[in-house]
Amino acid sequence: MDDPQAGGIPAGGERAGRSGAAGERAGRDGAGWSGAGRDGAGRDGVGGELAGQDWAAEVRRLAAERDAVILAHNYQVPEIQDVADHVGDSLALSRLAAASTASVIVFAGVYFMAETAKILAPDRTVLIPEPRAGCSLADTITAQQVRDWKAEHPGAAVVAYVNTSAEVKAESDLCCTSANAAQIVASIPEHQEVLFLPDQFLGAYVQRVTGRANLHIWLGECHVHAGISPAELRRKAAAEPAAELFIHPECGCATAALWQAGEGDLPADRTRILSTGGMLDAARTATAPTVLVATETGMLHQLRRANPAVRWEAANPDAVCRYMKMTTPAALLRCLREGITEVTVDPGVAARARRAVQAMLTAGAR
């Protein structure tokens, strides 16, 4: 492994190509539509039309009228989180989508999340308020690249992080989230090669936790999490000696943080690698005066609500996903009023992807 101080890129990592597939798909699906959120809506209103409680009441009225459940990812803006029926990480929201009996699922997140909901609930209408909300990580690999990689490693098991397109999931044997990635990989026979895609930092973390030597890792990354550096985390931790550290395994600093904790550069007893769902669970019992959070800043809203006695601070205040923030209050309102934009997945692709996603859901505890 490379120098852990530099981010811990695994020596066995594979190449990555930014395909732009998600962005192209979102553009096609949104063709001819004027685009939600382009009307200058701010976080304190909806294009000057409704604001605050009036906006929230209208969203809830329209959701009831459509028999819709609103699912929001932890990285959404606070207003969207507060009005949603459920807020959570990818694994929790996937389970909720699969179990929902609502006629319509409105997914306030990015495109691959809405696709996953459609894969799990093919008989339901799935809407995404902003179809241009892509994912830089999902864009680092295409289905054809997966097929080519599999041809280089015949017999290998393909484990796809949920942050992938439906087409990539369809080429995979198992899906995982950051919450259960190590558990999923550990369930594969030790003698079998594993192709882990597309996040190199989550892959490096899984490799360290499982000790798996035959794990090949695609060199993709989330541009937001990759930007949270080990050096930055060390500086923040040194300035807050009583603080706990909650670190998402997608972060460029995650593997380095484990190494630094072992070396004493970070407090081993106060450094935790957690999914966003795991962070929320841990937040409820946190007793440190301050917790430094290394993930997208939208997560701070849920953490502060869960335990207001703790001061929750971003390890990097600039760790903001512009794709997550594309779902504005205006976009959500328009989605519910007009029934746009509907997410579709080719039935053949969905059937193949469903097997991999269902394996993720049955993997056990978060």
- Cα–Cα distance for residue pair 352/310, rounded to 1 Å: 44
Write down the pLDDT at residue 47. 41
Nearest CA-CA partner of 80 in 49, 31, 46:
46
Residue 334: pLDDT above 90?
A: yes
pLDDT in tens, 199-238: 999 999 999 999 999 999 999 999 999 999 888 898 999 9
Write down the pLDDT at residue 30. 34
Write down the pLDDT at residue 260. 72
Write down the pLDDT at residue 150. 98
What 3-state class would DSSP assign to 59? Answer: helix
- Cα–Cα distance for residue pair 345/123, rounded to 1 Å: 12
Residue 79: pLDDT above 50?
A: yes
Question: Mean pLDDT score of the chain, rounded to an integer?
Answer: 86
Write down the pLDDT at residue 13. 52
Look at strands 311-314 and 290-294 and give their pairing: parallel
pLDDT in tens, 28-51: 333 322 233 323 333 334 444 676
- Cα–Cα distance for residue pair 244/170, rounded to 1 Å: 39
Better-predicted residue by pLDDT, 86 or 2: 86
Contact 130, 36 (CB under 8 A): yes
Write down the pLDDT at residue 155. 98
- Cα–Cα distance for residue pair 251/273, rounded to 1 Å: 10
- Cα–Cα distance for residue pair 219/201, rounded to 1 Å: 8
Q: What is the pTM of this model?
A: 0.85
pLDDT in tens, 103-139: 999 999 999 999 999 999 999 999 999 999 999 999 9
Residue 54: pLDDT above 90?
A: yes
The pLDDT of 295-315, averaged and rounded, is 98
Better-predicted residue by pLDDT, 84 or 26: 84
Residue 287: pLDDT above 60?
A: yes
Residues near 144 by Cβ (< 8 Å), separated by ≥ 6? none
Residue 8: pLDDT above 80?
A: no
Write down the pLDDT at residue 268. 83
